Amino acid sequence: MLNNFPLWPQQASTIASHVDALYIFLLIVTGMMALLIFVCLIYFAARFRHRPGVRAEQIEGSTALEITWSAIPFLIFMVIFAWGAAVYFRERIPPADATEVYVVAKQWMWKVEHAEGQREINELHVPVGRDVKLIMTSQDVIHSFYIPAFRIKQDVLPGRYTVEWFRATKPGVYHLFCAEYCGTQHSGMVGDIVVQEPAQYEAWINGGSTGPLSATGEKVFSELGCSTCHRTDAQGRGPNLQGVFGKPVQLEDGRTVTADENYVRECILDPGAKRVKGFQPIMPTFQGLVSEEQVNALVAYIKSISATKPGDASEKSKSSASAAAPAQSNAQPNGSQVQ
């Protein structure tokens, strides 16, 4: 019966136990504070109820008491603050070599694309024990990618990337919810996070029929004519993009920014905003000419030509026709771009 009346979601990620530990601490601390106050209230209410002939004693106050019951709670609050901040830092800063998965949210579904090219709708397959970083954007309104069992949540915004990461610890299927109200079918924008043993996951990921995301990106790069200006020699009218991802970039207006996902995306959609020093403002905007999935693919490609990471190198070498049909396959036919 208790299975049908749970009080607590499962812990299925490395951060979940940290969040729960802080939660339990808070339950205890606030429980004790509440108990203290309630006991005083009830006791005083009973002990000092009106009795004929007994008058109230006028007590002005006590500065000592005021200071005590300000300082002690404040110290407790600071402990909670610091602990909460520590958990938050761990939650929000992804490890450097996490596997990347792109997520595009739209009313009212989640579109997931693995770097290897595997696509999913309203599902996300991940292997147990691996750091996974979600790079997310929305096609329309603000959504929020929420996995209660992992204790993580991040709003997904239109016009920019937001990032969320986790490491799953237990195989199983867990709820995925949209947690930012987004219109009519907000409550229908749910899905499953499928955590698999590494072997099963490998089988699944190799069951797809498209190449890695970065290869798609390479195709888009040449189809849209980017390679005309962004050449790999020094004669291009646009900057050479080899090795550029993740490094600092000097801008025309004197600022220096890091070439992260958001910067690459902005360069594609709004080229004048952060123009690189030393180059003419001749890059046309691709706003309206590329879908979110194509932008994701281009970003993956730009990363791959800056890659020194083993993960990226293996992406390019994975072939799509390798494995037999895996036990759990969610291969999606991929003829056309999903808008």
Partner 1 sequence: MPDSTVAGLHRQEQHHPELLHHFAEPQQQRDAASLGMWVFLATEIMFFGGLFCAYLVYRRWYFPDFAAASKSINATLGATNTAVLICSSLTVVLAVWAAQTARRTLLISMLGITMLLGLVFLGIKADEYYDKFEEHHVPGASFSFDNVPIPGHPGEFANPRHAQIFFTLYFVMTGLHALHMIIGLGIFLWLLTMAWKGRFTPEWHTPVEIGGLYWHFVDIVWIYLFPLLYLIDRHP
Partner 2 sequence: MPQPERENYLNKEYGVWSWLLTTDHKRIALLYLISITFFFFIGGFFALLIRLELLTPAGDLVQADTYNKLFTMHGMVMVFFFLIPSIPAVLGNFLVPLMVGAKDLAFPRINLLSWYLYIIGGVMMMHCMLTGGVDTGWTFYAPFSTSFTNTKIVEAGLAIFVAGFSSILTGLNFVVTIHRMRAPGMTWSRLPLFIWAHYATSIIQLLGTPVIAVTIVLVAAERALHLGIFDPKLGGDPLLFQHLFWFYSHPAVYIMILPAMGVVTEIIACFSRKRIFGYSFVAFSSIAIAVFGFLVWAHHMFVAGISVYSALVFSFLSYAVALPSAIKVFNWTATLYKGSIHYDAPMLYAFGFLGLFTMGGLTGLFLAALGIDVHVTDTYFVVAHFHYIMVGGAVMGYLGGMHFWWPKISGRLYPEGWARLAALIVFIGFNLTFFPQFILGYMGMPRRYYDYSHMPEFQVLNVLSTAGATVLGVGYLLPMLYFLWSMRYGKPAPDNPWNAAGLEWKTSSPPPTFNFDEEPVVTWEAYNYDELDAPQKEEVPVAR
Question: Which residues are near partner 1 by CB under 8 A?
Answer: 253, 270, 272-273, 280-281
**Cis-peptide into 204, omega within 30 deg:** no
Residue 144 touching partner 2 (CB under 8 A): yes
- Residues of span 72-131 touching partner 2 by CB under 8 A: 73-74, 77-78, 80-81, 83-89, 91-93, 107
- Residues of span 264-283 touching partner 2 by CB under 8 A: 270
Q: How far is the CB of 140 from partner 1 (least distance, A)?
A: 18
How far apart (Å, rounded) are the C-alpha atoms in residues 303 and 312?
A: 8
Q: How far is the CB of 26 from partner 2 (least distance, A)?
A: 5
How far apart (Å, rounded) are the C-alpha atoms in residues 101 and 113?
A: 6
Question: Chain-centre distance of CA 207, in angstroms?
Answer: 25
Closest CA to 313 of 124, 134, 115: 115
Helix axes 292-304 and 310-317, enclosed angle (nearest 10): 110
Residue 24 touching partner 2 (CB under 8 A): no
Residue with tokens 């607590």: 8
DSSP codes joined into one string, 92-155:
HS--TTPEEEEEEEETTEEEEEETTS-EEESEEEEETT-EEEEEEEESSS-EEEEEGGGTEEEE
- Residues of span 288-327 touching partner 2 by CB under 8 A: none
Query: CB-wise, 76 or 229, nearer to partner 2?
Result: 76
Sole binder of partner 2 in the list 28, 95, 173, 188 (CB under 8 A): 188
Which listed option, partner 2, partner 1, none, makes contact with residue 228 (CB within 5 to 8 Å by class)? none
Which listed option, partner 1, partner 2, none, makes contact with residue 152 (CB within 5 to 8 Å by class)? partner 2
According to DSSP, the residues that pair with 136 across neighbouring strands are 103, 162
Query: CB-wise, 88 or 279, nearer to partner 2?
Result: 88
Determine phi and psi for 65, rounding to 5 degrees: -65, -40
With CB under 8 A, what is the number of residues at the site for partner 2?
A: 87
Question: Chain-centre distance of CA 201, in angstroms?
Answer: 21
Q: Which stretch binds partner 2 (CB under 8 A): 65-73, 222-230, 241-249, 307-315?
A: 65-73
Which listed option, partner 2, partner 1, none, makes contact with residue 280 (CB within 5 to 8 Å by class)? partner 1
Name the strand (E) or helix (H) holding 18: helix 14-47
Half-sphere exposure (CA, 13 Å, Cβ side) for 56? 7
Residue 187 touching partner 2 (CB under 8 A): yes
Sole binder of partner 2 in the list 105, 126, 182, 267 (CB under 8 A): 182
Residue 162 touching partner 2 (CB under 8 A): yes
